[in-house]
Each structure stands twice: as C-alpha cells, then as structure tokens.
Amino acid sequence: MSRPRERRVRTLTTTSYAVLAQLALRPWSTYELARQRIRYFRYVWPRAESAIYREVKRLATMGLIAAERQYVGKRPRTMYSMTEEGRQVLREWLATPVSPFAMDFEAMIRLFIAPLGTKEQIVATLQQVRSDAQEMLRFGGQVKREFLDGRAALQDQVHIRALAVDFFVSHLRTVDSWAERTLAEIEAWEDLSPDGKNERGLEIFANLPVPTPDEPSDRTPVAPRTQRRRRSY
C-alpha cells in the first residue's frame, strides 16, 4: 500500500465502510442509500442521515467511489458506484478484527436512573420500547414476505440477507420479551424506592442464565479485553 493511500485509509471510519459496503453490492443514488440505511444499517450503526451524505461526498473525493450524473426523464440524479480502489480497501478492512459488540439503547440509561424520575415515566419508556420492537417485528415480516415473493432489491443476496434478518428478528424478540418482563415487575411496585424490592432483585440475578463462578469472591469484575478494542466511528 502506498503511503498516500495508507494515510487516506487511516481516516476511514466504520461509517465509511458501512457506505462502501452498500455500494459494493450495486450502485445507488443518495436517496436510495438513505433508504437502505434506514432499512438495515440504521439498527446496527445509527448515524444521522446528513453524516451519510457527507461521507458519500468524502469517499468520492478520495476516489473510493465514483459519481455519475443521470437523468430520469428530465429529473437529474447522481448515482454512486464502487471503484476498484474502494473495493480493495473494503477487502482489506474485512481482514481486520471486528469492533467489540455494543448497543445504542437509550432506554437502558433511563432505567439505570429511573429513581430520579417517576414510576409513570419509566413505565412509559418501557411501553415505548415494546411498541417500537413490535412495530419493527411487523416490518421484519414484510421484509420476509418481500424475499419469499422474489421481489427484494437485493434478491440475489438472499443467502446473506436471511442471516442478517434472522439476527434482527431474534434481537427484537429478545428486547420485546425483556421489556414485557420488566414492565410487569415495575408495574407491581408502589414506587421506585428499594424498600422491599432488593430480595426480589437478588432472585432475578440468581436466575440469570449465565456461567457463574462457583466460589464467592471479593474482586470487582473487570470488563473483558474484547470490550477495550479500538472503535472507529
């Protein structure tokens, strides 16, 4: 890799690679890129739409994607496609270690500080989580139908898309189930104070389905090294 190219690659972020990943499959207009981002990538890599547009222009300036002006009738649009250099950069990225698993889940922050607010507020938050998860599951059903009907935009990639949608559906069902259990727990409380609730909290901990050390310890658990790997935004 030449030094100028190496310097350019160092400025790339996961957002850069998310855009390149979309364009590796087929050319898209900026409007289509935005729609595909909302449909798939937004749930695993949430970024403002304006940031995606800026990234597309930056990647074009770097020569990793190419812009072509086209017309649909009299209406102009810019189509973006992957260059050979962009494809090579994406291949090199695929050979690097993946960033550690993380979630962007505002409701969890609100749950941690729930006692600063009211019971009604945290209940409303959890109800919204359930509503959102169920809405997304209905959308997942529509995507499933679209692929089964053979009319998806990326029908030729169904072997990969099926695995991705399986993850989304499994994750959303987990979130919905957790929110349902948590709502039932909190709705049975009179308030958010710990009075009379900590014993039940320990019971929930005892039943968590995770490997647990056999012997008690006075050492504070340290987050795994995997969670300290570098992230590029």
Q: List the chain domain ranges.
A: 3-90, 106-209
Name the CATH topology of 3-90. Answer: Arc Repressor Mutant, subunit A (1.10.10)
pLDDT of residue 227: 77
Give the whole-angstrom CA distance, residue 227 versus residue 233: 15
Q: What is the pLDDT of residues 158-216, one digit of tens each?
A: 999 999 999 999 999 999 999 999 999 999 999 999 999 999 999 999 999 999 999 99
The answer to whether residue 41 scores a pLDDT higher than 70 is no
SS3 sequence of the chain = CCHHHHHHHHCCCHHHHHHHHHHHHCCEEHHHHHHHHHHCHHHCCCCCHHHHHHHHHHHHHCCCEEEEEEEECCEEEEEEEECHHHHHHHHHHHCCCCCCCCCCCHHHHHHHCHHHCCHHHHHHHHHHHHHHHHHHHHHHHHHHHHHHCCCCCCHHHHHHHHHHHHHHHHHHHHHHHHHHHHHHHHHCCCCCCCCCCHHHHHHHHHCCCCCCCCCCCCCCCCCCHHHHCCCCC
The answer to whether residue 121 scores a pLDDT higher than 90 is yes
